[in-house]
Amino acid sequence: MTNSKALIKSIILSSFLFFVASTSSIAEGENYSPLDSPSFFEGLNTFTSVFSQIKQLYVDEIDDETLFNNAIKGLIEGLDPHSSFLEPKDQSDLSESTMGKFGGLGIVIGTQGNYIEVISPIDDTPAYRAGLQAGDIILQIGDQNVSQINLEEGVKLMRGAPGTKVKLTIGRPDIAPFVVEITREIITITSAKGVILDEGIGYLRIAQFQRPTSDLVKNIISDLVAQNESELDSLIIDLRNNPGGLLDSAIDVSNLFIDETGIVVYTEGRTPSSNISFPTKPGDIVNGAPIVILMNKGSASASEIVAGALQDHKRAIIMGEESFGKGSVQSMLSLEDGYGLKLTTARYYTPSGRSIQSKGITPDIELENISLDNDEDEDSIDFSSQEKDLKNALSAEDPTELSEEEILKVQDEIAEKRDQEYIELLKGDYFIHEAINVLKALKVYR
């Protein structure tokens, strides 16, 4: 027993010292060492005792690697909902998601007590079409009780081959738990899109902040100006149910609309490398036109950075609901053999010094989540309807009976009809309706 404990202690201590050495660049000279902490060895003795008892008495034989990985996961997951120990495949999945294409149901999730919470459904995905909403609690995945697994295990259960199905038991305030069956798909996110709504009012929907989002937004605004045949009078930026994404993308998008010297966001943590300010780059692509940003409780992380920056710079009016409040920074650290560590290392602050973490962005004008149409809830609007579902849609024709010029004309008519239907759906959205009223009032005032 004594030799076994000594061996385990040696392995753990060697691994820990390797970890300290591998992350020294993050700490930038901080001299913490577990060897200087008496409580470290007390905890280590308890750990080795538990490890030995499991090896000897547990009903099934468990290999050392599994036990060590489980111990590391428990160490990290006890910190906060966003820190995690990543196996090689987990790192690959994380990389795919930032590129805008990955497999799954199309929801961004976090932890809520012992359960999994839907932070937001992603536009035009199986989860979105199934009616999942921000704030829903996932109680079961298939027959698996979510309270008995961690977040990463829940993600793995929901992932799967396209075309396969998974049942989720959902908890939602004021109604009994219910089950939805969702068919998995390859999720390809269009991070931004836009239309002209009314009288020079542009509408920009940003669903997530990915690497190409800033360039896409610039192109969309340019197209809207061309459609409007003049500069935009005003702009609605819809960040509802936007779960965030890449920090660099949020900063770049913010800088498209801020035309003064200052900062977009800054971070503060325990180490010097975590204390960073991100400056503005003056140059407003809508030339000072009034902006309304729409948010709800599903707006998180990068979307809160954009809203906070434009609010503090007096560049936009924020309308809607208080946002999610995910204002922490996760750093990716590489470990041996392809493993990784996603660790919370700092908090985000808006230019005026407001912490986003657990507070969110408070709107300038609060709106209740109601519908203008009594027969249809706002969140049930389906932007993914097919052409055949549209009012007065053209019937199918054999293309061989049409000339090339006639085919192009029909295609243009279809696109125009789809755009018009989309615009009418947007105008029936209460949040957008109120944003248009505010912008029209500002136009009269100016």
Give the catalytic positions in this structure.
Answer: 301, 312, 326
Q: Which residue reads 């750093």 in tokens? A: 331
φ, ψ at 142 (rounded to 5°): 65, -125
Both tokens of 297, joined, read 């409780």
Nearest to 133 by CA among 249, 324, 297, 247: 297
DSSP for 347-403?
Answer: EEE-TTS-B-TTT-PPPSEE-----SSTTS-GGG--TT--GGGSTTPPPP--GGGS-
What is the spatial distance between Cα 383 and Cα 393, in angstroms, rounded to a whole number? 16
Q: Which residue reads 């990985």 in tokens? A: 69
Nearest to 159 by CA among 205, 223, 106: 106
Q: Contact 132/107 with Cβ under 8 angstroms?
A: yes
Q: Which residue reads 């966003």 in tokens? A: 82
φ, ψ at 38 (rounded to 5°): -60, -35
Q: What spatial distance separates the first Cα and last Cα of the chain, rounded to whole Å?
A: 82
Phi-psi region of 30 (alpha: psi -120 to 50; beta: other; left: phi over 0): beta
Between strands 201-206 and 234-238, the pairing is parallel
Both tokens of 132, joined, read 């999942």
What is the spatial distance between Cα 369 and Cα 379, in angstroms, rounded to a whole number? 9
Burial of residue 12, with CB atoms counted within 10 A of its CB: 0-12 exposed, 13-18 middle, 19 or more buried = middle
